[in-house]
Amino acid sequence: MSDARKRPVPSRIAFLASDAEDAQQALARLVARYDPAPIERAQVIVALGGDGFMLHTLHRTKGRDIPVYGMNCGTIGFLMNEYDEADLPQRLASAEEAVINPLSMRAVAADGTLHEALAINEVSLLRAGPQAAKLRISVNGKVRMEELVCDGALVSTPAGSTAYNYSAHGPILPIGADVLALTAMAAFRPRRWRGAILPKSAQVRFDVLDAVKRPVMADADGRSVRDVVSVEVKSEPSVRHRILFDPGHGLEERLMREQFV
């Protein structure tokens, strides 16, 4: 969901940067040009880096209800804006806001430990050995697929649908759509199964079949759990991430443009 309403020109801007040299140099220039504020008092956060650092920043600031404006000092930068040092407060005031909800992951490992994490893009299961994984898929407590033989499977948000999901030939989802993508990676059986589009309220459970012989790892935005036996995934509406984009270059436009290249 995007919001193009004009916001006040911020006077308290916090800057965060990745460890990359370009990002650190940009940080030094911006701090010298604009009086930075600590995160605790900031009205907006400017993140300098690539998409990975943007995800890191959103996770780091979870619960603060502070919008984050990314400037690309990395490679692809799908979640980032073009780097420009001029008139930054005015650009922040004019930016479009998108609000996204992450996914929650509850993964149980073979030793019985429970691992919980949030994912802004996707929760994925990947084979961790030489043989294909075997997964049973349930939605809202009902088994929908007794056995999926594959390299892996993932559940993606609309915001993450152009990332790993798209590389796995999953659908691009409109931002603000109340749906999730369930996508298989290199499905062997059923050979032609390409996944499903689920309502945002759906709760997806993966059970790993023959986990000892066919080990599987789970990943939530880079936080990995090895040797999982079950993984539950659902949208987490209680958590809101606010992302700012330059006018005309918001998530909705980016997702639309991505489908015509």
Residues 124 and 197 placed together within one structural domain of the fold: yes
As a whole-number percent, the residues of the chain with pLDDT over 90 amount to 80
- The enclosing domain of 137 has a CATH number of 2.60.200.30
Q: What is the pLDDT of residue 5?
A: 56
**pTM reported for the whole predicted model:** 0.86
Residues 79 and 179 placed together within one structural domain of the fold: no
- The enclosing domain of 16 has a CATH number of 3.40.50.10330
Residues 74 and 136 placed together within one structural domain of the fold: no
Give 176's pLDDT tier (boundaries 50, 70, 90).
confident
Residues 171 and 251 placed together within one structural domain of the fold: no
Distance CA 228, CA 26 (A): 41
What does the pLDDT look like over 54-94, one tens digit per residue? 999 999 998 888 999 999 997 777 889 999 999 999 999 99
Q: Considering only residues 76 and 199, tell me which one the structure prediction assigns the higher pLDDT.
A: 199
Residues 10 and 115 placed together within one structural domain of the fold: no
Q: Report the alpha-carbon angle 113-225-211, nearest 5.
A: 80
Residues 30 and 13 placed together within one structural domain of the fold: yes
Nearest of 227, 208, 202 to residue 153 by alpha carbon: 208
Residues 87 and 118 placed together within one structural domain of the fold: no
CA distances from 25 to 21, 32, 219 (A): 6, 11, 31
Q: What is the DSSP string of 194-214?
A: --EEEETT-EEEEEETTTTTS
111 is catalytic: no
Q: Are 228 and 161 in contact (CB under 8 A)?
A: no
Average pLDDT value over all residues in the chain: 92
Residues 107 and 228 placed together within one structural domain of the fold: yes
Q: Are 181 and 165 in contact (CB under 8 A)?
A: yes
User: Which residue range(s) make up the domain with 186?
Assistant: 103-235
Q: What is the pLDDT of residue 8?
A: 85
Q: Are 177 and 169 in contact (CB under 8 A)?
A: no
Residues 114 and 92 placed together within one structural domain of the fold: no
Q: What is the pLDDT of residue 261?
A: 67
Residues 191 and 111 placed together within one structural domain of the fold: yes
- The structural domain count of the chain equals 2
Collapsing DSSP states into helix, strand and coil, what is residue 260?
A: coil
Q: What is the DSSP string of 63-109?
A: TS---EEEEE-SS--TT-BPP--TTHHHHHHH-EEEEE--EEEEEEE
Nearest of 187, 185, 183, 188 to residue 173 by alpha carbon: 183
Residues 117 and 212 placed together within one structural domain of the fold: yes
Which helix (H) or strand (E) segment holds residue 24: the answer is helix 21-33
Collapsing DSSP states into helix, strand and coil, what is residue 21?
A: helix
What does the pLDDT look like over 13-41, one tens digit per residue? 999 999 999 999 999 999 999 999 999 99
Residues 205 and 113 placed together within one structural domain of the fold: yes
What does the pLDDT look like over 85-128, one tens digit per residue? 999 999 999 999 989 999 999 999 999 999 999 999 999 999 99
Give 66: exposed, middle or buried? Use CB within 10 Å, 0-12, 13-18, 19+. Answer: middle
State both tokens at 192.
């032609």
Residue 180 pLDDT more than 70?
yes
User: Which position among 51, 84, 178, 227 bears the catalytic label?
Assistant: 51
Q: Are 67 and 75 in contact (CB under 8 A)?
A: no
Nearest of 240, 233, 247 to residue 1 by alpha carbon: 240
Q: What is the DSSP string of 101-144?
A: --EEEEEEETTS-EEEEEESSEEEEEE-SSSPEEEEEEETTEEE
3-state helix, strand, coil in the chain (%, to 5): 15, 40, 45
